[in-house]
Structure 1
Amino acid sequence: NMQAVVMRQGKLAMSNAPIPQPGAGEVLVKVLACGICGSDLHCVTHGPQLLASAREVAGIELFDPEEPIVLGHEICAEIVDYGQGARRDRAIGSRVVSAPFLLRPQPVTLGFGGLDTPGGFAEYMVLSEDLLIPVPDDIPNDIATLAEPLSVALHAVNRGNLGSDEVPIVIGCGPIGLAVIAVLKMRGIGPIVAADFSPSRRAMAEALGADIVVDPRETSPYDSWRSVAAAADPSQYGRQTQMFHGFPFRPSVIFECVGVPGIIQQILAGAPPCSKIVVAGLCMELDSFYPTFAIMKEIDLAFCIAYTPQEFAEAFAHIVSGRLKVEALITSHVGLGGVEEAFARLGDPERDIKVVVLPQLDGG
Structure 2
Amino acid sequence: MKAAYIQNGKVHVGEMPDPTPAKGQVLVRTHSCGMCASEQHFVHSGQHVIDLSKKFGGAYASLDMTRPFVPGHEYVGEVIDYGPGSLRPIKPGRRVTSVPVMRQEGRHAVIGFSHECPGGWGEYMLLDEAAVMEVPSDLDDDLAAMTEPLAVGLEHARRGHPVAGDIPLVVGCGAIGLGVIAGLRIAGIAPIVAADFHPERRALALKMGADIAVDPREISPYAPLPDLGGKRVNLVYECVGLPGLLQQIIESVGFEARVVMGGYCMAPEQIYVFAAQNKRLTIHFAAGEEQQDMELALRSIANGTIDIAPWVGARIGLSGVAAALDEMSGPTAPVRTVIDPRKL
TM bin, normalised by shorter chain, reads over 0.9
Separation (CA, whole Å) in 1 of partners of 2:163 and 2:10: 45
Matches within 5 A, 1:144-223: 144-223=144-223
The match for 1:356 is 338
The match for 2:310 is 328
Going from structure 1 to structure 2, the CA distance change for 1:225 and 1:44 (only over 3 Å counts) comes to: farther
Separation (CA, whole Å) in 2 of partners of 1:217 and 1:89: 52
Q: Once the 2 structures are TM-superposed, how far is the Cα of residue 49 of structure 1 from its aligned partner?
A: 2.2
The one-letter amino acid of 2:335's match is I
Separation (CA, whole Å) in 1 of partners of 2:340 and 2:256: 45
**2:222 aligned counterpart, secondary structure:** helix
The match for 2:35 is 36
The one-letter amino acid of 2:258's match is K
The match for 1:265 is 247
**1:189 aligned counterpart, secondary structure:** coil
Separation (CA, whole Å) in 1 of partners of 2:264 and 2:41: 9
For the 8 Å contact 1:212–1:224, the answer to whether it is kept is no
Q: Once the 2 structures are TM-superposed, how far is the Cα of residue 222 of structure 1 from its aligned partner?
A: 1.5
Deviating beyond 3 angstroms after TM superposition, the runs of 4 or more aligned structure 1 residues are 224-227
CA RMSD in angstroms comes to: 1.7
**1:210 aligned counterpart, secondary structure:** coil
The one-letter amino acid of 1:14's match is V
Matches within 5 A, 1:59-78: 61-78=61-78
**2:338 aligned counterpart, secondary structure:** strand
**1:222 aligned counterpart, secondary structure:** coil
> How far does the alpha carbon of each residue in 1:72-128 deviate from its partner, in whole angstroms, 9 at most, with x for none?
1011000112210123333221111111111221212101112x4211110111112
The alignment-based identity, stated in percent, is: 37
Larger radius of gyration: 1
TM-score, normalization: structure 2? 0.94
Matches within 5 A, 1:99-178: 99-104=99-104, 105-114=106-115, 116-178=116-178
- Count of residues paired in the alignment: 342
For the 8 Å contact 2:158–2:183, the answer to whether it is kept is no
Which range moved further: 69-78 or 306-315? 306-315
TM-score, normalization: structure 1? 0.89
Separation (CA, whole Å) in 2 of partners of 1:102 and 1:161: 29
The match for 1:304 is 286
For the 8 Å contact 1:251–1:274, the answer to whether it is kept is no
Separation (CA, whole Å) in 2 of partners of 1:286 and 1:324: 35
Separation (CA, whole Å) in 1 of partners of 2:304 and 2:333: 27
The match for 1:26 is 25
For the 8 Å contact 2:222–2:232, the answer to whether it is kept is no
Separation (CA, whole Å) in 2 of partners of 1:229 and 1:275: 18
> How far does the alpha carbon of each residue in 1:281-311 deviate from its partner, in whole angstroms, 9 at most, with x for none?
0012122222222121111111111022222
Which range moved further: 250-259 or 145-154? 250-259
**1:6 aligned counterpart, secondary structure:** strand
**1:184 aligned counterpart, secondary structure:** helix
For the 8 Å contact 2:223–2:232, the answer to whether it is kept is no
For the 8 Å contact 1:265–1:290, the answer to whether it is kept is yes
For the 8 Å contact 1:261–1:285, the answer to whether it is kept is yes
Q: Once the 2 structures are TM-superposed, how far is the Cα of residue 226 of structure 1 from its aligned partner?
A: 6.8
Q: Once the 2 structures are TM-superposed, how far is the Cα of residue 251 of structure 1 from its aligned partner?
A: 6.5
For the 8 Å contact 2:29–2:77, the answer to whether it is kept is yes
Separation (CA, whole Å) in 1 of partners of 2:225 and 2:169: 7
List alignment gaps of at least 5 residues for structure 1: 231-248
Q: Once the 2 structures are TM-superposed, how far is the Cα of residue 344 of structure 1 from its aligned partner?
A: 0.7
Separation (CA, whole Å) in 1 of partners of 2:197 and 2:58: 37
Going from structure 1 to structure 2, the CA distance change for 1:15 and 1:277 (only over 3 Å counts) comes to: same
